[in-house]
Amino acid sequence: MHALPRLWIITDPDYANGPIDTVQQALVGCPAGKVGVQLRAKSVDDRTLVDWARRLRELTKKAGAPLVINQRPDVAALVEADGVHLPENSMPVDRVRETWPELRWLGQSRHDRQGLLRSEKDGVSYAFLSPVFDVPDKGPGLGVDGFREAIAGVSTPVYALGGITPYSTEDLREAGAYGVAVKRSVYRASHPSEVVRQLLAVLDKPAA
């Protein structure tokens, strides 16, 4: 797996049944390499984080899905994940590359065009831009037009994050999004695999 996925599922560590079961359901029937998983669990202890990471690594390998670990390149290397995803104000990109050269992908969260340009300069593998739509406690969303303006001319693959649904994905794809990243729309779904199928159907549509 060398191509980036079109869709990232971000784990919800506060979900009643934990983060693993929903991811397992969501990946059922997914084409290999189309959907990636980001383990994001900032508030759990290291033992729990490593346990979840190992379980997700086993699950994603079977499904042919890439796995990245949020904020913890040490854990990513330990479980042989595909990469690490850095928050906007995390450790320097060059330091991560120097210390953990075995991590193939290095993603980064950004919230405006200036941040995306810094990520482009640092040569990250991809970036998340958020929030695109209004999300509780995240402030006002950029909107589709704001997303389009922020990524214009940026060579780094950019994923839209924040309030994403299958219904909004087509507009974002047409605005230049490489793909989308989701959490609530998958974890709140009665059938997570159906939401993933709908998202991929939009993302994979041929350009008009």
pLDDT surpassing 60 at residue 1: no
Number of domains in the chain: 1
Geometric angle at alpha carbon 82, from 79 and 86, rounded to 5°? 95
- Find residue 39's DSSP bridge partners: 69
Structural domain contains residue 16 = yes
Confidence (pTM): 0.96
Token pair belonging to 115? 């941040």
Structural domain contains residue 166 = yes
Structural domain contains residue 2 = no
Give the 3-state secondary structure of residue 20: helix
Structural domain contains residue 208 = no
Q: Are 177 and 147 in contact (CB under 8 A)?
A: yes
Q: Torsions phi, psi of 196, nearest 5?
A: -60, -45
Contacts of residue 152, Cβ cutoff 8 Å, sequence gap at least 6 = 176
**Measured between alpha carbons, how far is 67 from 129 in angstroms, rounded to an integer?**
19
Residue-wise pLDDT tens digits, 187-205: 999 999 999 999 999 999 8
- For residue 90, give the amino acid letter: S
Structural domain contains residue 72 = yes
Structural domain contains residue 163 = yes
Structural domain contains residue 32 = yes
Structural domain contains residue 1 = no
Identify the domain containing residue 165 by its residue range.
7-203
Residue-wise pLDDT tens digits, 146-184: 999 999 999 999 999 999 999 999 999 999 999 999 999
Q: Residue 81 is part of a domain; what is its CATH number?
A: 3.20.20.70
